[in-house]
A and B are shown apart, each in its own frame.
Chain A
Amino acid sequence: MTNKIKEFNIVIVGVGGQGLLTMLQIVAEAALLNGYEVRTSELHGLAQRGGSVEVHIRFGEKIFSPLVSAQRADLVIALESQEALRAGYFASTKTKFLLNQHIIPIPLAKALTAEEILTSLRKISKDVNLIPASEICRKAVATDVVAGIYLLGVSVFKKILPLEEDALIFAIKKIIPEKYLELNLKALNLAKS
């Protein structure tokens, strides 16, 4: 890779069970393959079961902390739209948001509309993108478990995430178990069109 990035900070948010740890591993492997230092942070345990999940991935020339600092995220990927609001803590005017247009209701709370979420986030950054990843995946491959892979594809193909396509594919092949590989590669290809 010719144009090396000094530092790139990603926060991925979502709900336990949406595959955030898999995404984290894929991005980390791809970044390593592209010659970067990489560090990540994740949480395990009960937090996974339907609770909010937040993982951090940082890569670049020299990376010390495994955590993204407040307002330092270059990219926020939200696998559930409402969760993007929690990641606002990590965002600044320069942060790009990719939101899966997908709401998982919070028990006993009224779900926010996409409009409300976008209005809030646009107070921080103008670059907020709502993408119907779950819907696209459900239509094409009959499941939205690969919505995260689709969004990773979008971020790499649109050069939002400065990693090479080949590195991403290599990382997916490395991390995803054989029997789900085809499904994941299909989801990645959907992001191309």
Chain B
Amino acid sequence: MKDILLDKPGKKIILLGNEAIVRGALELGVEFVSTYPGTPASEIGNTFFKLSQDKEYKEYFEFSVNEKTALEAAIGASFSGLKTLVAMKNFGVNVCLDALMPFVYTGTKGPTVIVVADDPSCHSSAQSEENSRGFANLAHIPILEPADPQECKDFLKLAFQISEKFKIPIILRTTTRVNHQRMPVQLGKIAQLNLVAGEFIKNPQQFVTLPPRVLEMKKELLEKIEKIRAFAENSSVNLIDGGRTSINKKAGIITSGVSYLNVKEALKELDLDLPILKLGFFYPLPEQKIKTFLRGLKKVLIVEELEPYLENEVARLAKEANCKLEVVGKKLLPEIGELKPEIIISAIAKFTNYKLKSMNFRSSPRFATACVIGNWKSKIPQRSPQFCPGCSYWSVVSAIKKSVDPAKVIFGGDIGCYMLFGTPAIGMQDYLSCMGSSIGIAHGIKKALRLGSGQADSQKLITFIGDSTFLHAGIPALINTIFNKSNPLIIILDNQTTAMTGHQPNPAMATKINSEYKFGFTDPDFSAKGDGCQPAIIIEDIVRACGVKNLKVIDPIKQEEFVSAIKEFLEKEEVSVIIARRMCVLFAKSLK
């Protein structure tokens, strides 16, 4: 952590990909940073947050309420001329897409980069194996793809240069194996910030998207993209590597991101030297450079994780550049899950078939067995994560099991540690989707169950949602249950922090938590705690303001009170909310 501020240009220190992004931002003098936590992007915000606790830190940093507010804050900062960085995981783009699309049209004033972290194999993603590359063609937003921590830092700088030059926001797209990779990174000089207030200069021509202007803006955007494409054609981040000693110059590889490193590893393993076109730009693609690379090849292997976006583009370009070229990609590589090195080794071996038989089994005997990948079965059951010892969620589970027969109740899940309610040992999660959806879907189920009969409940429904998730996207859904009259029981699990992603602050957390107020907090009543201990937002005030009549704030360890509240509320004709408030045990421990 202290290393990240080390002022020794040229020195190499080991950094995590996410730390390298922060270091890069400090070196290029970013002035405004906003984020919402989400693995694998979380350490970007965490590191900025820690830095911002220091009085020396001058740049602005915030944990926003969700990714949309994070991006909107960044748009405001950019419109006011500041150098701005936003970070989120892939699903965050879904949340902020509504703001992103017009932002690409208006373009930036202060340069703006959005770090988007994908998670192939869903190591820490519940809802889908989302590939953010899909946003490129949708939003016409340039995307750069670094392969490792060094490139995280270098590409971030490049992204800011492009944003500055072309007045457009840029996505720096990473994946888990980039964000959570460590390597020695060469330090540059930390920018000496001479911060001045941003200035918003009225310019509706740029900042207001309305027809007919909006269509002109689209034209300007498409022209901008072609200019950036020309820039990409000459950019050193799209480079041709290897193939000089190759006997067989007829086969080549196109790849990007961490797959490039795995391709290099595979070629080393197979003792092959094939030309590789490594693309730093995913959008816009340097089409001429790709065509030049394709000419003279008989076949090309596209090594990319998840959907064949690049493969489809290359196939299109090949029609113009080299119509006899065989474009191979998903035929040899899976579309699901990350591309581990052995998968790529196996694919390149098949792609260059004769090579493997003639030499590599001998030169690399271990590879012979490695070909049969996945043949090792560990014979031990999966070890799922569990609630930490002392976690208040155990008390929630216990109270519910004392109140109802879980087999007869529908349980709604949401995004947070309480997703573990779905583990077989607990078995209390009947649906799970995206942030805040537990309440919205609960409403739909309750309405559906009543359709036609108009009768009282045939089935009870309890949904769970955490404090941060409720504030992120749960409130409009709660209002919908009031407006359109349904009656789920919503249990807001308020552990007073954003626990799953590493205890980031949220609006329902006591505001002075990091200075004066240390609490092993169990009292649901904030008002007794005095000045500075009150959160910015009191969840029960919001719930009440939404029109909820059946509301209780309970410490979940008070089982009798909790059980009677659940039983009482499940009989209600209107929506009910229980705020189960007890601090995350790990967080409480960290405050001591």
A interface residues with partner B (beta carbon < 8 Å): 15-16, 24-25, 28-29, 32, 37-52, 62, 64-67, 69-72, 82-83, 85-86, 88-89, 91-92, 94, 106-109, 112, 120, 124
Contacts and interface: CB of A to CB of B under 8 A. Distances in A.
B561 to A, nearest CB: 28
Interface string B362-397: 000010011001101011111111111000000000
18 contacts: A37-B184, A38-B183, A42-B180, A45-B39, A45-B40, A45-B42, A46-B419, A50-B386, A50-B388, A62-B268, A65-B261, A69-B265, A70-B342, A72-B366, A86-B380, A92-B370, A106-B381, A106-B383
A106 B366 CA distance: 33
Given A44-B43, A47-B123, A69-B340, A85 B387 contact: no
B182 interface: yes
A62 B502 CA distance: 34
A65 B265 contact: yes
B181 interface: yes
Contacts of B380: 82, 85-86, 106, 109, 112
Do most interface residues of chain A lie in helix, strand or loop, or is the interface mixed?
loop
B419 to A, nearest CB: 7
A51 B384 CA distance: 5
Enumerate the 3 nearest inter-chain pairs by beta-carbon distance, A residue then B residue, closest first.
A45-B124, A51-B385, A45-B39
B237 to A, nearest CB: 17
B179 to A, nearest CB: 9
B123 A66 contact: no
Given A49-B386, A67-B341, A39 B265 contact: no
A52 to B, nearest CB: 4
Contacts of B69: none
A142 B74 CA distance: 50
A25 B14 contact: yes
Interface residues of B, number: 52
Contacts of B448: none
A44 B124 contact: yes
B480 to A, nearest CB: 29
B177 interface: yes
B264 A65 contact: yes
B314 interface: no
A25 B182 contact: yes
Contacts of A112: 380
A86 B383 CA distance: 11
B261 A70 contact: no
B182 A24 contact: yes
B382 to A, nearest CB: 7
A15 B123 contact: no
A94 B184 CA distance: 28
Nearest to B377: A88
Contacts of B269: 69
A64 B268 contact: yes
Given A65-B264, A69-B265, A86-B380, A40 B182 contact: yes
A89 B14 CA distance: 28
Given A64-B268, A94-B366, A44 B42 contact: yes
